Every structure is written in structure tokens, then in C-alpha cells.
Structure 1
Amino acid sequence: MFTITEYSAELMKDPFGILSGTRYEFILDLAVEEDDELYQEEGVTLRVIYVIDGDTAKIAKYEFLTTSTNKYIDFELEEEEEKMVLAFCKEHFDKP
């Protein structure tokens, strides 16, 4: 499990009007315990694409990256972690 230490949220533009809903890009800086398999010495960042479409809000995509080099980390969120990130996005999407 990890803790979100800092974040930024930005409204994503859809210049062609192709995508449905409103999309936000969240960049979440994470604190990860050293004994966790996700742990990276240079830090871990989670990039999340959060979509609001009518009454529905969901995570459309996410990816883990190393904080200092932005290298992709092949790792998936556990179910409870995904629920926590979704709740965080719901709470913070309008407060970038």
C-alpha cells in the first residue's frame, strides 16, 4: 500500500471533440514502504486519467512511473488501491 503525498490535476483538452465526458490528468506522488515490491529508490509517481461522463466517474487509464526519470513501472493497482485512488480523484478533481 502507498500514501499520496502530493498531487496535481489538470483538465485535459479534447480539441477534436472525439472523447465523451470530461477528462482530468492527475499526477500523484506516492510514498511507498521500502519492503513493498512497488518501491523504487528514485520515488514513485502515479499518472491517472480520470473521466467524468454524466453521473459516472472512473479511472480510464493509469501508469506508474519513477519520479526522477519518468520510466514506466510495470505494476497494477490492487483493488483496494484503485478504490482509494478513485475516491481521491473524485474529491480533488475540481481543486487543481
Structure 2
Amino acid sequence: MLTITEYSVELVKDPFQILSGKRYEFLLDLDLEEDDELYSANGIAIKAVYKVDAEQQGSIVNYDLIEKSTGKYLDLDMEAEEEAALAAFCQEHYSEAEE
């Protein structure tokens, strides 16, 4: 289960309108239990790109797990239910980005 302690969301500008829909970049700080395989004593954050199309249907385009204190990208994947929780969180909060 994902426990998000802080987050920010920003609309990704597409001045040439090459991409369909709108993209939002999320930066999320996680609070993880020590027995979680994603846990790091240095802290973990997720950098995710979320796409919303004309019908307001959203999906995760990609995400990266980052060790907060070092900025190192981790070669780990989240479990399916964690990815679903991330997508639900993004769907709920993408509208907070300033246009």
C-alpha cells in the first residue's frame, strides 16, 4: 500500500501540441515500512507522468522510483495494486495543477 506524505503536481507544457491529451508530472514522497521491498533509509519518492485525454480518462505514462537523499533512480517496479493506487491518486489530484 502506498502512503503518500507530500506531493506536487504540475502541468507539462506542450507548446507545439505534439502530444494528444494533457500530461501532468507528479512528485510524491512515500512513507514506507522497513519490511517493504521499496524501503530505503534515505527515503523514496515517485516521479510519475500522468496523461488525461479528451474524455477525462487518465493513465500513468511512466514512473520512476527515486532515492530522495541521493537522487538515484532505482531499478524497481511497484506491484500491480500499488500502480493502481498511484493511478487513482493521480486521477484524484491532477486538476490541482495550474494551467
- Deviations along 1:61-95, one digit per CA (max 9) or x if unpaired, are 10000111211011112111111111111111112
- Write out aligned runs for 1:1-96 (5 A): 1-55=1-55, 56-96=57-97
Secondary structure of the corresponding residue to residue 70 of structure 1: coil
Higher strand share: 1
Structure with greater contact order relative to length (CA < 8 Å, sep ≥ 6): 2
Question: Whole-Å Cα distance in 2 between the matches of residues 44 and 17 of structure 1?
Answer: 33
Question: Whole-Å Cα distance in 2 between the matches of residues 11 and 48 of structure 1?
Answer: 12
**1:44 offset after TM fit, Å?**
0.2
Secondary structure of the corresponding residue to residue 61 of structure 2: strand
Q: What letter corresponds to residue 67 of structure 2 in structure 1?
A: T
Q: Equivalent pairs: percent with the same residue?
A: 52
Secondary structure of the corresponding residue to residue 94 of structure 1: helix
Question: Whole-Å Cα distance in 2 between the matches of residues 2 and 35 of structure 1?
Answer: 13
Structure 2 residue runs of 5 or longer lacking an equivalent are none
Secondary structure of the corresponding residue to residue 36 of structure 1: coil
Q: TM-score, normalised by structure 2?
A: 0.91
RMSD (Å) for aligned C-alpha atoms: 1.0
Q: Which runs of 4+ in 1 moved over 6 A?
A: none
Question: Whole-Å Cα distance in 1 between the matches of residues 72 and 3 of structure 2?
Answer: 20
Aligned length: 96
2:2–2:85 Cα contact (<8 Å) kept: no
1:51–1:60 Cα contact (<8 Å) kept: yes
Structure 1 residue runs of 5 or longer lacking an equivalent are none
